[in-house]
């Protein structure tokens, strides 16, 4: 959330930000209109309150004095009610204003304007036509029965796919945990205040699964509950930075994405993800974004998966993010890189919404900066391993770092026997 004072004092900068994000610029005009009314009413209220406070009759008040005080009190009550309504409207409108972009943002309308920052690993060359992961795992990734149980974009994992998925989750948690990230388990259902704290509500309500009877939402990512752990709290400065890692299933309706990635594991309504979340001091957030991104990259490198890092342009940067790097892994069947992690710095945008501050000994408490990134999306990682390490006979060579988890070095799938 942007601070009202910041919006008033930096109207042109906010307008330019909306333009660069290809966002509705009328939103700012609507906010300013409500804010002007709010300040007009506030000024009238202060004048009446000052008049009331300065009224000091000599002796017993006359009837006309009492009538005047009654009119003033009624006027103040009416104005206070109006103020509350305007403040609610202002706060609601503020929730739809996106975050300011970082100082080094890239101007662009869509993903074609994103900038490639880094390429790692060698793209595999095959002496045979590369198969897609859904074909390679056709006996263990049961999309048809997933659809029967729940609808499209749900999958039943079987056999070696279940073991590989579980191995990847444990591997990711172990690596991040060994490097100082505290592992946490969080609820998969959260309330509206928690969703609002990270920016999912109210703007992205249509993408969320909601349990209306209980007023709870299935989380779209562990970012939501983990970032809100310290909602409405003040942290001590010497505790920062805080680093958390969490594995959770994630749930997304993928509203508006019809026709995109309808086959395979790329775009599912339910999927597993290991998430990295960080709280830090404002002056550290740029360096912490680099640290967090490298932490996610480490998993790809240990798995020997070719990838690239891309900085997102203004039009492709998420609503709450000030700056985002996407990590994209190579998919041989598609002959291109596909997103497997987004690592973002949110400046104090989420912290303002969730009221997460830290105590600076030299001043009053100020808002922390929050960051998060996938470390990694598990299903997409599984798909990338299957595709990049496939052999002509259909077997899959297991990455060295996963052999102890799987107790196997190669997946030799036999169609009529559910084993590997």
Contact status, residue 369 vs residue 279, Cβ threshold 8 Å: yes
Q: Among the three residues 94, 124, 145, which one is the final residue of a domain in this structure?
A: 94
For the residues 361-382, what does the mean pLDDT come to?
A: 94
pLDDT tens figures, 86-144: 999 999 999 999 999 999 999 999 999 999 999 999 999 999 999 999 999 999 999 99
Handedness of CA 53, 54, 60, 65 (dihedral sign): negative
Given pLDDT bands bounded at 50, 70 and 90, which one contains residue 409?
confident
CATH number at residue 132: 3.30.930.10
Contacts of 12 (CB under 8 A, 6+ apart): none
- Does residue 404 lie in a domain region? yes
Please tell me whether residue 369 adopts helix, strand or coil conformation: strand
pLDDT tens figures, 40-51: 999 999 999 898
Kindly state whether residues 284 and 334 are assigned to the same domain.
yes
Checking if the pLDDT of 371 tops 80, the result is yes
Kindly state whether residues 285 and 326 are assigned to the same domain.
yes
- Does residue 222 lie in a domain region? yes
Q: What does the mean pLDDT of the chain come to?
A: 94
Share of the chain above pLDDT 90, in %: 86
- Does residue 417 lie in a domain region? no
pLDDT at 66: 80
Checking if the pLDDT of 321 tops 60, the result is yes
Question: Which domain does 242 fall in, by range?
Answer: 111-411
First-to-last C-alpha distance (Å) of the chain: 51
- Calculate the CA 251 to chain-centre distance: 13
How far is residue 96's CA from residue 33's CA, in Å, rounded to a whole number? 15
- Does residue 126 lie in a domain region? yes
The DSSP 8-state label assigned to residue 302 in this structure reads H
| Tokens, residue 285 | 């957030």
pLDDT at 65: 75
Checking if the pLDDT of 416 tops 60, the result is no
Kindly state whether residues 227 and 333 are assigned to the same domain.
yes
Kindly state whether residues 67 and 153 are assigned to the same domain.
no
Count of beta carbons in the 10 Å neighbourhood of residue 186: 19
Kindly state whether residues 124 and 215 are assigned to the same domain.
yes
Closest Cα to residue 358, out of 349, 345, 348? 348
- Does residue 310 lie in a domain region? yes
Count of beta carbons in the 10 Å neighbourhood of residue 205: 14
Kindly state whether residues 165 and 129 are assigned to the same domain.
yes
Specify the length of the chain in residues: 420
Site of tokens 């490198």: 301
CATH number at residue 51: 1.10.287
Kindly state whether residues 70 and 215 are assigned to the same domain.
no
Closest Cα to residue 342, out of 292, 390, 306? 292
Instruction: Report, as residue numbers or ranges, the catalytic residues.
Output: 252, 267, 339, 342, 380
pLDDT at 254: 85
pTM, two decimal places: 0.93
For the residues 210-227, what does the mean pLDDT come to?
A: 98
- Does residue 123 lie in a domain region? yes
The CA distances from residue 17 to 11, 25, 27, 105, 382, in Å, are: 10, 9, 12, 10, 37
Given pLDDT bands bounded at 50, 70 and 90, which one contains residue 411?
confident
Kindly state whether residues 42 and 117 are assigned to the same domain.
no
Contact status, residue 344 vs residue 256, Cβ threshold 8 Å: no
Tally of domains in the chain: 2
- Does residue 386 lie in a domain region? yes
Q: Is omega for the bond preceding 118 within 30 degrees of 0, making it cis? A: no
Contact status, residue 372 vs residue 275, Cβ threshold 8 Å: yes
How far is residue 318's CA from residue 104's CA, in Å, rounded to a whole number? 16
Min mean pLDDT across 209-218, 250-259, 264-273, 326-335 is at 250-259
Checking if the pLDDT of 185 tops 90, the result is yes
Contact status, residue 97 vs residue 4, Cβ threshold 8 Å: no
Kindly state whether residues 124 and 262 are assigned to the same domain.
yes
How far is residue 222's CA from residue 263's CA, in Å, rounded to a whole number? 25
pLDDT at 256: 66
Q: Among the three residues 48, 69, 94, which one is the final residue of a domain in this structure?
A: 94
Kindly state whether residues 126 and 49 are assigned to the same domain.
no
Closest Cα to residue 101, out of 289, 280, 315? 315
Kindly state whether residues 80 and 118 are assigned to the same domain.
no
Min mean pLDDT across 64-68, 88-92, 207-211, 218-222 is at 64-68
Given pLDDT bands bounded at 50, 70 and 90, which one contains residue 218?
very high
Q: Which helix (H) or strand (E) segment is 133 a member of? A: helix 133-136
Please tell me whether residue 330 adopts helix, strand or coil conformation: strand
Q: Among the three residues 62, 94, 126, which one is the final residue of a domain in this structure?
A: 94
Kindly state whether residues 310 and 265 are assigned to the same domain.
yes
- Does residue 420 lie in a domain region? no
How far is residue 385's CA from residue 74's CA, in Å, rounded to a whole number? 71
């Amino acid at each position: 959330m942007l601070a009202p004072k910041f919006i008033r004092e930096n109207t042109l900068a906010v307008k330019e930000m909306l333009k660069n994000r290809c966002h509705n610029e009328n939103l700012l005009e609507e906010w300013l209109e409500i804010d002007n009314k709010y300040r007009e009413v506030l000024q009238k209220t202060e004048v009446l309150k000052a008049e009331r406070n300065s009224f000091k009759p000599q002796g017993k008040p006359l009837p006309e004095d009492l009538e005047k005080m009654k009119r003033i009190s009624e006027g103040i009550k009416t104005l206070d009610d109006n103020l509350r309504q305007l403040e609610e409207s202002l706060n609601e409108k503020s929730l739809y204003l996106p975050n300011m972009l970082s100082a080094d943002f890239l101007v662009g309308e869509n993903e074609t304007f994103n900038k490639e920052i880094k390429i790692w690993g060698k793209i595999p060359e095959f002496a045979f036509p590369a198969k897609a992961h859904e074909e390679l795992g056709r006996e263990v990734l049961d999309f048809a029965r997933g659809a029967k149980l729940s609808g499209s974009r749900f999958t039943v994992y079987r056999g070696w796919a279940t073991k590989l998925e579980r191995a990847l989750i444990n591997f990711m948690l172990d690596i991040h945990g060994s490097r100082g990230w505290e592992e946490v388990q969080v609820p998969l259902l959260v309330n509206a205040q928690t969703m609002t704290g990270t920016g999912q509500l109210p703007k992205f309500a249509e993408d969320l699964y909601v349990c209306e009877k209980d007023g709870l939402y299935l989380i779209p990512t562990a970012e939501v509950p983990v970032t809100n752990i310290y909602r409405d709290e003040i942290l001590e400065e010497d505790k920062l930075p805080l680093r958390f890692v969490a594995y959770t299933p994630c749930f997304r309706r993928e509203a508006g994405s019809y026709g995109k990635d309808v086959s395979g594991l790329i775009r599912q309504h339910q999927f597993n993800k290991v998430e990295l979340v960080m709280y830090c001091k404002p002056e550290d957030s740029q360096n912490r974004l680099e640290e967090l991104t490298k932490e996610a990259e480490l998993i790809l490198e240990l798995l020997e998966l070719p990838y690239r890092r891309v900085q997102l342009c203004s039009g492709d940067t998420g609503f709450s993010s000030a700056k985002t790097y996407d990590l994209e892994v190579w998919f041989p069947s598609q002959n291109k890189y596909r997103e497997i992690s987004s690592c973002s710095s949110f400046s104090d945008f989420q912290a303002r919404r969730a009221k997460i501050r830290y105590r600076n000994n030299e001043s009053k408490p100020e808002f922390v900066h929050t960051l998060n990134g996938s470390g990694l999306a598990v299903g997409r990682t599984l798909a990338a391993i299957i595709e990049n390490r496939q052999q002509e006979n259909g077997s899959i060579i297991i990455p060295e770092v996963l052999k102890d988890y799987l107790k196997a070095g190669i997946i030799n799938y036999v169609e009529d026997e559910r084993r590997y």
